[in-house]
Amino acid sequence: MRPELDIKKEFPILEKRQIVYLDNAATTQKPPCVIEAASRYYNENNANPLRGLYQLSIDATDEYENSRQEVADFIGAADKSEIIFTRNATESLNLVAYAYARNFLHEGDEVITTIAEHHSNMIPWQQACKATGAHLTYLYCEKDGTMTPEMLEKIISDKTKIVAVTQVSNVFGRVNDIKGFAEVAHKHGAILVADGAQSVPHIPVNVQDLDCDFLSFSGHKMYAPMGIGVLYGKKDLLEKMPPFLFGGEMIEYVTTEGATWAELPHKFEAGTVNVGGAVGLREAIHFMKRFGWEKIEQREEELTTYAMEKMADYPYVHIIGSKDPKEHHGIITFTIDGVHPHDCAAIFDEHDVAIRAGHHCAQPLLKYLGTMSTVRASMAFYNDKDDIDKFYDALISIRKEMGLDG
């Protein structure tokens, strides 16, 4: 790796804990600049935003709204009012399922999601369909994770009102053609909801170019604090949706008989908001911009390729999905012959390597693939080849430590 790409020094936790951290698809570590930005807000500008007429509250409001603008620019939104701050991608998807789906779906309508979705982009649609009498249909991927707009075209109909698709699978790591899916959905009068939890941290995303109607993502997967997430929605759709939560700040006027709602985006942000998290997310975006997408993508592709090439030499390992590292975007999900993934995780931990084991919140997908549990190593651009070497050394020791040959 070129020296200018060695950024591990900017993450002190990795040195303090002496850990190879390969669970980045679950959450990333936070650089000090992000932590300091959130801390600085609380030390210097903390007040309840949007409500006070005094200068400290005005400054807090500016911090919050400047963060919203930064997010809008980062994903190419047309207007910052299309950015709703939430707790995470899960809440963002639930917001759409409650405020849009439950109000605009009717009995006999159809929602299409895919078998490859994270539970967060599946269960909300299951519940919305149960509540409205709509029908939920699944698009099944190929066993290597391939899903195409042409496959959607074969099952969509004019009864379809919502298509919900992940942009990058948290199991396969494969990028789906959201722009193509949106084109098919719109042709049939449906909206396209994209789960960007695994895409926004790793690849450039421009919502206007993709023409998705909604996009969700979490800050904690892109070097920002936990507890801050984003829902992007097209303005015309957000304006006709009722609020998701009710209470303070999301109102315009209240009487004893009822209320009217605040303008976008505030009607969806009830109560005291997470300004510190929003400021941390803004700083995380600045941090990523320092390095640029070309370096981030190249680094993660190099590491994925290096890891998969080493793993290919070990006959007991079976990688889920494509054999092409370029299709994995830092996510390598696999099994080891004769060893349960939870035992694998325990042995990796003994070697100070942090990986994920289980169903990865994708139980229907794993069942479809013929397994109920797998191991997942997921990379960020602060990882390096030394991390992969230590990962591989632990990997090839697992069967021996379990008393098996090889």
**Could you tell me which residues are beta bridge partners of residue 141?**
none
- Extract the tokens encoding 112: 């299409």
Asked if 266 and 293 touch (Cβ cutoff 8 Å), the reply is no
**Tokens 């909300």, located at residue:** 124
Residue (of 121, 131, 62) closest to 93 by Cα position: 121
**Tokens 């790409």, located at residue:** 5
Helix (H/G/I), strand (E/B), else coil: 303: helix
Q: Tell me the catalytic residues.
A: 361
Torsion angle (degrees, nearest 10) of CA 323, 325, 327, 329: 140
Strands 214-218 and 331-336, by their bridges, are unpaired
Interatomic CA distance for residues 103 and 238, integer angstroms? 12
User: What is the DSSP annotation of 231-287?
Assistant: EEE-HHHHHHSPPSS-SSSSEEEE-SS-EEEPPTTGGG--SS--HHHHHHHHHHHHH
- Extract the tokens encoding 97: 């399922």
Helix (H/G/I), strand (E/B), else coil: 216: strand
Interatomic CA distance for residues 362 and 93, integer angstroms? 16
